[in-house]
Structure 1
Amino acid sequence: MILTGPAIAAAVAAGDITIDPFEPCRISPNAYDWRLGKTLLVCDGHLDAAAPTSFTETAIPEVGLVLEPGLLYLGITHEKTGSERFAQMLNGDRTIGSLGIWVHVSAPLGHQGHAIRWTLEIRAAKPVRIHAGMTFGKLIFLTAHGCPDSYQQQRAKYAASDGIDISRLHEEIQGDRP
C-alpha cells in the first residue's frame, strides 16, 4: 500500500521516514516532491557494461544548465531519504516529462534500510535548461509485508553510496571472467 501525504508527514514526525531536508509544503496527496541536487556527471563517451563509465563532473551554475539530447547525465537528489520500515519509489513527474526530460526510468526502488541521496539517470529529448533545487519528481513510500530485511545489513553493491554512483556492473562482469 502507498502512504498518503498525511501518513508520510506522521512517519517523518515519528522518525520512521527520513527526508533531509524536509519541507512539509512539499508533501502532495500520495508523495513527496523531491528536488534536483547541484551536481551532474556528464557521460558523453562510449558506454560499456564491462568497463567503468567515463564522465565529467559539473556543478549546475546559478543560471542553470542546458541538457543536450544524446548525452547521459547522472544527477543526485537534493534530499536524502530512507526508512527502515518503508520501501520507496522515486520517479520523475508530469511536469518534468512535459519538458522532454526522462528521469530515473530504470531504478525507482529504494529498499528498506537504505537512506541515500538518489543517483538519477537523466536524458533530454530536446535541449532544455534545468536548475539545481527545482522540483524534479515524486517520491512515494510503500508498506512492506513480511519480515523486514535491511538493505544496509546485506552489504549490497550500493549500500555505502553517498553521492552520484556510476554503474558498477563492470565489477560483476569482471568477477565472472576466468
Structure 2
Amino acid sequence: MILTGPDIVAERERGRLVLEPFHPAQVQPNSYDLTLGPTLVYYTGEVLDTRAENPFVEVEIPEDGFVLEPHRIYLGASVEVIGSNFYVPRISSRSGAARLGLFSHCTAELIDIGSIGQTTFQFHTVEPLRVYAGDRLGQVAFVRVQGDVVLYDGKYQGSRGPQPSKIHHDAPATAA
C-alpha cells in the first residue's frame, strides 16, 4: 500500500521517513514532488562497461537551463534527502515531465528500505528537452513493507549529488 499525502506528512513528523528540505506545496495526493539539483552527470565513453568504472563529466546547470539530448543517459540528483527505515521509497517522473517525453527513472524505481540520501535521477528523453535546476521533475511515493526488514547498507548509502554507476564493484573477482 502507498501512503497518502497526509500520511507522508504525518510519518515525516513522527520521524518515520526523511524528506529534507520539506515544502508542504510539494505534497501530492499520494506522493511528494522532488526537485532537480544544480548538477548533471553524463558518461563520455563510446561503450559503457558493467565491469569497469566508466568515464563521465559533471556539469553545472546554467541559469538558462541545460538541453538533454536523446540517446544519452543523464544523471541528476534530487535537492531533497529522502529515505525511510519503515517504508520503501518509489521514484517516478511527474506526469507533466513525462508528457514532454522525459523518463526520470528509467528502470530502478525502488529505493531500498534504510537508504537515506539524495536520489539519483536517471534521465532519458525522447526529444531534446531543456531542464533547469529547481524543476520538479520527479516524485517519491512511500510503500508499506511486509515481513522482516533488513536495512540497506550498500555502496550508495548517504549519496549526495548525482551518483554514477558503481556496478563494477559487484563484478566477480578475476584470477590473476
For this structure pair, what is the TM-score category when the shorter chain's length is used for normalisation?
over 0.9
Residue type of the alignment partner of 2:68: L
Residue 92 of structure 1 pairs with residue 93 of structure 2: yes
The structural deviation recorded for 1:132 is: 0.6
Q: Partner letter of residue 106 of structure 2?
A: V
Q: SS at the partner of 1:12?
A: helix
For the 8 Å contact 2:76–2:161, the answer to whether it is kept is no
Contact 2:118 2:158 survives alignment (8 Å)? no
| Residues 90-139 of structure 1 deviation map (CA, whole Å, 9 limit, x = unaligned) | 11122111111111122111122111101111112111110011111221
* Aligned amino acid, residue 117 of structure 1: Q
Q: Which residue of 2 aligns with 1:126?
A: 127
Q: Are positions 1:7 and 2:7 aligned together?
A: yes
Match of 1:115 in 2: 116
Does the CA contact (< 8 Å) of 1:92 and 1:102 recur in 2?
A: yes
Deviation by residue 1:49-92 (Cα, 9 ceiling, x = unmatched) = 12111111101111111111122211111111011111110111
Matched, 1:20 2:20: yes
TM-score for the superposition, normalised by structure 1: 0.92
Gaps of 5+ in 1: none
Separation in 1, partners of 2:42, 2:151: 32
Find the counterpart in structure 2 of residue 177 from structure 1. Answer: 174
Offset at 1:157?
2.9
**What are the ranges of 5 or more consecutive residues in structure 2 without an aligned counterpart?**
none
Q: Tell me, yes or no, if the aligned pair for 2:68 and 2:130 is still in contact at 8 Å.
A: yes
Name the CA distance, whole Å, in 1 between partners of 2:111 and 2:42.
23
Runs of 4 or more off by more than 4 Å in structure 1? Answer: none
Give the number of aligned pairs: 174
